[in-house]
Chain A
């Protein structure tokens, strides 16, 4: 039944190797040409025609060793000698270090490269001629002190930053088996909170900056080279840097969309110089993280379900024949014991291990990236092509996700004062999955279905009576419908979609006068999403053999159709901004920026659904013979804003900056459409003060910063016209005449005519310091974010009959802090390492909300769109009962407070709740704060202390990265909805813990109540203290080991650099949460695509 994974992998790897080989081959040719050209330069060992001689070459090198002895002094820019600096030949074990006077002496082959390096300084590589004395001056590295950070519409030196900005560089995203940027950034920047919904590569993780935003949700604004783009569609390998603007001061130039932070992604660009080609290929195998431990004996299964069913409705789930049949099979699992016929019905006494039968153990992914960059004085370019191909876990008719990315950037210096910039970004994604016929027809449901369902019509010697095999032979191998997924996965239709996201940008940079730089660009984007769902008819067999004519039916697939959906979105962005740097006397530095931004978007959606395919082989709307239906919708919206920045620095000590934006949106009525969002921030570089002169030996930089600012939030999701009451138009499935839908117009909802921005007031205090020559680099921020005038729908009595209009009427406050600290050091023996800790925390509270009667938020948590809140509510709180324990005897039940408001027929083995209000009854009260009955806040699902720990070690040519990410504590109430997998007997399967951890008279200390089918009756699994989970965790998100091939070797074949690496993602985790829950994917409420452990092998070459 399973296609061979092995073959599949081989095929993928083979094709990948072909690609790499081709490039190797061609580069080899290049190398030969180059070498012959360069022959006269007298380089070493020029005459090596092919790779086969590689080994010999190394040997030759060693044989030729000790040609030259070089001595010299290594100094810094001020002429001071640097002790302990490393002098080495890459790719060899040759190396030494300078002494206390900065002197060194090393004997190396002639013509090799010598690398001089020291922590905090830029390394220098010198190709050795015939010098014997070589004095070297190392320049202090800019990586920490002179580092330049991308900020809104510009860049700034890190030391001069006054707002809260977090930065991630390209290294964090490269050479990792990540399907999207989000996976790569998780845990990297403190308080950039990234939550994957599940392990599905086609689903995007949610981004959040600094925690709770607004009761209306909200998300950071993501800009790629200053245009809004879906970050999950870009190729992680094209990214040069990511800046996260966290506070109002940093984000103010983005005004109305920046209330909850901005993520600025900058893509790579070309550099003047020779053509550099870089190729990165990697192959991964992903293994789902399934924490399930199902029993795999049908007899045990039948008995366990019988017990639970008997408890629930007094009747076993399986009859004695089934009990006996499964016992027979489990004692002697021979084919004869697998099937039986009872009253004309086929019976399956065996057991299916769906996890092993449907799922492959490993799903392959391959990823290839090719980038070319180069340029001259007057022009440069960067071109890249990326491809990701990821398979799902199905053993048959697998899922597949593909991504293609093209980035083309060029800059042309037309005149001294004019530079033109061209950019083309193509992000294309394609997903192909089996059609989702019903709630159970999905890979992720395999956990929930009863494992004793028959799968395929068996091949038996006879069926109802001797000699009738011929009657039933045609059905052999046909799938049964009972498992709900087998036949549909195997023979059903597909759901496919393609997303083509294309951005075209024309930019110009003018430098008409000294200090003045004017930049403008126009970007046009169109996204076309084409989706096709084909539900084709499937033949499935019945287990009832009495009427052979009725054995075949269509299961869930009877209503076969083709559903085509097309989204066409257009968007344009105009940015124009000018920088001016004033020429002022020494000690004063003043720069200003002023700009304009305008954006417009339009979406169109068309859907057509035609029923009854002529044949499942032809999947086109035309190839149908049934009912035809069409639907459509469209909308548009616009934004316009102007902004400025003024930055003043006195004597490199006092920094002050103000940013603001005046913003208008089409989403609000004209009177309240525009908003002004100012911010101010200041910094004090204490370390540059005279009185700090004595600390220079250990303190490199110390700065405190403070900022205050206001931002607006217009985020209303897809509600583009919240102030305009409109009547809906639709087609009802109520048929007035014949088989025709009935058109209708529905009443307009309630709107508030005075809607305007939510205002977000943010305050931030930060401290940055660098110590010990750059060994320690840290920044700490404390913030408070008030979201004021939140658009709120009060919950009115239901007789209002519609959603209350949104009004600007609620406030919330989020407070928190974050810390990023890096320690890096280089030891003498070529070992360098760094450790970065990113740590953050936040909590949020409702400070204003109109809830006059103090109604308790409905549901378990208060998160979400129209939920109810109350003043003083801590976001994420969980209401529930306090558990006393499990009733042990009937007497205990009789003497305990009455629980009849929660359910009927309480017996020993059921949960006993605590009578918190002492009224002798367990009730939910009247669901108000004043009378919550016996409920209280039992926990909070806000993640506390989110952390990421990144460790890098490099030794000679090896690099090792280990990255841990996690949350210290987070309370979680496991979903008790039907067909979820935490509470025993809530779904169709049985795990070992259902049996061992359920109460019985001989298992009185059990965690769960007595076995009970809880799909409908939730009396024992009301939200309560007993089953509250701690969803804190730590997970090894990345472990990678890289090896740089020896330079001589690489260079000899014409490469600049070659690197092989192994990377593992999600290799290990710890969490106190009970299995089978995965602490990262519990929030979607259902069992979905699992997280996965991914093992990757990659090669990167540059030539």
Chain B
């Protein structure tokens, strides 16, 4: 049975028709054209579909769209403001943390959730935050460095 739901994504309101079984990832990618969240396994094992739900990282391939109603959803498209990269995005570019790029949106959002909650994470906390995100290209180290550096950068701007 299809139903009309309302979702707040990156601060914008969207009304979409979904089936009860439709996942948030499907809505984001297919209905809203926000293709930054990726489908890597559909089973919640890889983290490529990570988005933020009320600031917390969630696997949008496992979350039903109807469950996301009334919550603030942030996708990778919602990070840069006015054409200016978010400090985390900037740090990923700067530190060579990007190779094929498929897993990167998910890793950046996992990191954002951490920094929003804990602006001074230790390296171990950074690792823990992205431990649910798989990456086959980069070997992770540069992402960890980028996240630690983005923290410093944000502080510098304050």
Report whether chain A binds chain B.
no
Q: Which residues of B contact A (CB under 8 A)?
A: none
